[in-house]
């Protein structure tokens, strides 16, 4: 390891000097004199006396730098059969106008704006318009239900909500407006104003005085200029699943985001300004924030915005079509997308039907990448396939093969090595470092690099207790894994109730809260069980209240529907069984891990602390009836 190791050492030995140097590559209103201020650690402040504007870096600077006529966004939507290109000049014009719209509605620096939109260019316009004004955007993924939206409205207290009339899924239109109306009605926080983009597929009914039509307000808007903000001012809030039904509002600051994302575009992804970069994700997730919107634009790349799926829109050749059509150099997606493609086109025969000469590298993240999928992709594409590991909290990769620094040999099953800035370690239960090859908690020694989360919105205590209290001096990632003798990291499983369904991060705890709210449910457990396509799927086991003699299938159907309406279709909650008892320890803790191993047909041990081992027989039968669990009993 040459250039990688040198850069890693520089970033760890003197983080302030290293990142101040990288900060020179972006545009500041006031260049910072200081790298990190860790006097209030773990609440670290990067570039504290710098002032900056993220939208200026994404758009104005690119136009001034000669990119006015270069495509900034290429929108490709097989689900609506349409395509549209916005140059940097066009994206800047629209963004400045929309910033004017928000300003006219009273949005100023620090105000929150909630964005509930599908994968259309106007969503990027809305996001960047917030950044232009120094307002804080909070994008909510379209697959979430009204209740989840209401929780986010109450926590972020937005002045304005920007939404669209509908999303387009392959099998149906998702009407956003009724969900939005319900959320606004149920939320305690009062939202005075919305802007609704009417899509051709569906016209939403607008409420006079509250809802404004996007096209109309844009026509009369006065473009607004960039408002410089402090580097430490929030750029956005993005809610993500924690262990309870109350999502965590991950906050991102402005200067750190601009510097880290710009740096990552060359150091990790090895792209140059002008290259076409495609993150096949959704703007509702962190990958979308960092690599559909900000990263590629900060770097002067062209970003592809794809409103479709890897399969079924229309077939498993969809990704290759997009790569050929737009000359994509780097594709970034989740392993689940490749499992879906592999399932439909196991020989990869559709790949050969397209000209992929522009395509250099595939990056995967969002969930553990199983070696089979990685090897298949590598063999069929005949290109480097790079697994990299990151989280909503970090905003960019913790571990990766930093191709722009030095391409290291790929080891399947590993997202390679810690990215410069991340001092990765593995600790045991007692907080002691473990030997190489031994599994433990993956932690990052403080300080975290710029672009990671400096706080949780409205929840500094939760920030400290969730991430920094168990291992003082470290950030606890919530993932377990190990580092091998070559320094390669392996991320094996979550240590908490978070599961990963088709690359979507969900909380089994939140689902349990929804099931427990059903009047007939006395107690329940939700497990994340292994699934060939989606990585994991949630499975519910419920005990009914005494005296309930209703039909079990009816109750199960109600529970499935309940999760769909309370959390959203994206939870993919479809399996639930009624059981008489749940296995518990003598102290009353439900033995979820044992049930999960049973469901996944992996070896499990009878827990020494189990209160009544006979309960597991019933659970085994219930799991088998749902298509899980094998014939065998405990391994020992």
Name the residues that contact ligand COA, by CB under 6 A.
142-143, 167, 169, 174, 280-282, 285, 287, 309-311, 333-334, 336-337, 340, 365-366, 502-504, 533, 569-570, 572
What are the percentages of helix, strand and coil residues in the chain, rounded to 5? Answer: 30, 25, 45
Least distance between ligand COA and beta carbon 38 (Å)? 31
CB of 166 to ligand AMP, least distance (A): 25
Q: CB of 477 within 8 A of CB of 444? A: yes
Contact criterion met (CB below 8 Å) for 615 and 581: yes
Q: Which does 387 bind (CB under 5 to 8 A by kind): ligand AMP, ligand COA, none?
A: ligand AMP
C-beta of 276 vs 501, nearer to ligand AMP: 501
Inter-axis angle of helices 121-133 and 88-104, nearest 10: 60
Cβ closest to ligand COA, residue 47 vs residue 390: 390
Q: Dihedral sign, CA of 611, 617, 623, 629?
A: positive
Apex 479 CA angle, 474 and 485, nearest 5? 80
Least separation in angstroms between residue 188's CB and ligand AMP is 27
Query: What residue 415 binds from ligand COA, ligand AMP, none (CB within 5 to 8 A, per partner kind)?
Result: ligand AMP
531 binds, among ligand COA, ligand AMP, none (CB under 5 to 8 A by kind): none
Q: Which residue stretch of 5-13, 200-208, 367-375, 526-534 sits at the interface with ligand AMP (rule: CB under 6 A)?
A: 367-375
Query: Distances from the Cα of 347 to the Cαs of 303, 315, 323, 570, in angstroms?
Result: 29, 14, 19, 29
Q: How far is the CB of 599 from ligand COA (least distance, A)?
A: 20
What is the rounded distance in angstroms from the CA atom of residue 301 to the CA atom of residue 99? 23
Residue 575 contact partner, candidates ligand AMP, ligand COA, none, CB within 5 to 8 A by sort of partner? none
Q: How far apart are CA 275 and CA 144, in angstroms?
A: 33
Q: Binder to ligand AMP among 60, 111, 270, 367 (CB under 6 A)?
A: 367
**Among residues 26 and 280, whose Cβ is nearest to ligand AMP?**
280
Per partner kind, with CB cut-offs from 5 to 8 A, the member of ligand AMP, ligand COA, none near residue 388 is ligand AMP
* 167 touches, from ligand AMP, ligand COA, none (C-beta below 5 to 8 Å by class): ligand COA
**Contacts with ligand AMP in 467-506 (CB under 6 A)?**
478-479, 491, 494, 500, 505
Q: How long a stretch of residues is the chain?
A: 636
Partner in contact with 149, chosen from ligand COA, ligand AMP, none, beta carbon below 5 to 8 Å by kind: none
Q: What are the tokens at 288?
A: 């979308």
Of the two residues 167 and 451, which places its CB atom closer to ligand COA in the complex? 167
Find the farthest-apart pair of alpha carbons in the chain and give their distance in angstroms, rounded. Answer: 73
CA distance 88 to 65: 11
Q: Which of ligand COA, ligand AMP, none has residue 211 at its interface (CB below 5 to 8 Å by kind)? A: none
Q: Can you tell me the distance from the alpha carbon of 618 to that of 615, in angstroms, rounded to the nearest whole number? A: 6
Q: Return d(Cα 12, Cα 305) in angstroms, integer.
A: 35
Q: Computed from CA positions of residues 447, 453, 458, 463, in that sequence, does the dihedral angle turn out positive or negative?
A: negative
- Cβ(511)–Cβ(467) under 8 Å? no
Q: Which is nearer to ligand AMP, 168 or 369 (CB)?
A: 369
Q: Is 288 in the site for ligand AMP (CB under 6 A)?
A: no
Nearest CA to 142 out of 111, 179, 112 is that of 179
* Per rule CB under 6 A, count of chain residues that contact ligand AMP: 20
Nearest alpha-carbon partner for 72 in 296, 227, 247: 296
**Does the protein bind ligand AMP through residue 299 (CB under 6 A)?**
no
By CB under 6 A, tell whether 148 contacts ligand AMP.
Answer: no
Q: Which residues are at the interface with ligand AMP (CB under 6 A)? A: 240, 286, 365-369, 387-392, 415, 478-479, 491, 494, 500, 505
């Amino acid at each position: 390891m040459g250039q990688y190791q040198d850069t890693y050492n520089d970033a760890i030995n003197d983080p302030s000097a290293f990142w101040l140097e990288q900060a020179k590559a972006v545009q500041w209103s006031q260049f910072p004199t200081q790298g990190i201020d860790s006097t209030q650690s773990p609440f670290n402040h990067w570039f504290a006396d710098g002032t900056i504007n993220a939208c200026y870096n994404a758009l104005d600077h690119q136009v001034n730098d000669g990119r006015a006529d270069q495509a900034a966004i290429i929108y490709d939507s097989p689900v609506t059969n349409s395509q549209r290109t916005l140059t940097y000049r066009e994206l800047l014009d629209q963004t400045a106008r929309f910033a004017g719209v928000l300003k006219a509605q009273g949005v100023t620096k620090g105000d929150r704006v909630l964005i509930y939109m599908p994968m259309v260019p106007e969503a990027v316009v809305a996001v960047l318009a917030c950044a232009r004004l120094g307002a804080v955007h909070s994008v909510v993924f379209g697959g979430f239900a009204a209740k989840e939206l209401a929780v986010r409205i109450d926590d972020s207290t937005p002045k304005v909500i920007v939404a669209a009339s509908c999303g387009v899924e392959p099998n149906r239109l998702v009407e956003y407006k009724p969900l939005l109306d319900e959320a606004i009605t149920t939320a305690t926080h009062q939202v005075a104003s919305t802007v609704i983009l009417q899509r051709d597929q569906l016209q939403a009914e607008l409420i006079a005085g509250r809802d404004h039509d996007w096209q109309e307000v844009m026509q009369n808007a006065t473009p607004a200029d960039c408002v410089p903000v402090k580097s430490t001012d929030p750029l956005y809030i993005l809610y993500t699943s924690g262990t309870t039904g109350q999502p965590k509002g991950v906050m991102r600051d402005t200067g750190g985001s601009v510097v880290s994302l710009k740096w990552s575009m060359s150091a990790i992804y090895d792209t140059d300004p002008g290259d076409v970069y495609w993150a096949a994700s959704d703007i509702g997730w962190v990958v979308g924030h960092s690599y559909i919107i900000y990263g590629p634009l900060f770097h002067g790349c062209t970003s592809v915005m794809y409103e479709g799926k890897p399969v079924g829109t229309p077939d498993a050749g969809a990704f290759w079509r997009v790569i050929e059509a737009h000359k994509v150099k780097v594709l970034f997606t989740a392993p689940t997308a490749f499992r879906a493609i592999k399932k439909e086109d196991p020989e990869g025969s559709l790949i050969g039907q397209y000209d992929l000469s522009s395509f250099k590298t595939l990056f995967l993240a969002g969930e553990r990448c199983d070696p089979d999928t990685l090897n298949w992709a590598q063999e069929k594409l005949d290109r480097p396939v790079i697994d990299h590991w990151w989280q909503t909290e970090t905003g960019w990769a913790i571990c990766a093969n930093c191709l722009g620094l030095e391409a290291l040999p790929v080891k399947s099953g590993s997202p390679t090595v810690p990215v410069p800035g991340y001092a990765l370690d593995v600790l045991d239960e007692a907080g002691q470092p473990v030997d190489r090859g031994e599994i433990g908690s993956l932690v990052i020694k403080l300080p975290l690099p710029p672009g990671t989360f400096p706080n949780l919105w409205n929840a500094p205590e939760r920030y400290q207790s969730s991430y920094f209290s168990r291992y003082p001096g470290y950030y606890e990632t919530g993932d377990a894994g190990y580092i091998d003798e070559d320094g390669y990291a392996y991320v094996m499983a979550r240590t908490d109730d978070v599961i990963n369904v088709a690359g979507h991060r969900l909380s089994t705890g939140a689902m349990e809260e929804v099931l427990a709210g059903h009047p007939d449910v006395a107690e329940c457990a939700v497990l994340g069980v292994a699934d060939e396509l989606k990585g994991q799927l949630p499975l519910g086991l419920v005990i009914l209240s005494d005296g309930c003699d209703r039909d079990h299938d009816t109750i199960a159907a109600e529970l499935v529907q309940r999760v769909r309406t309370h959390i959203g279709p994206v939870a993919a909650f479809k399996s639930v069984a009624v059981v008489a008892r749940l296995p518990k320890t003598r102290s009353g803790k439900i033995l979820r891990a044992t049930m999960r191993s049973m469901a996944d047909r992996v070896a499990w041990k009878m827990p020494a602390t189990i209160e009544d081992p006979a309960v597991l027989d019933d659970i085994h039968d219930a799991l088998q009836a749902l298509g899980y669990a094998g014939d065998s009993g405990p391994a020992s």
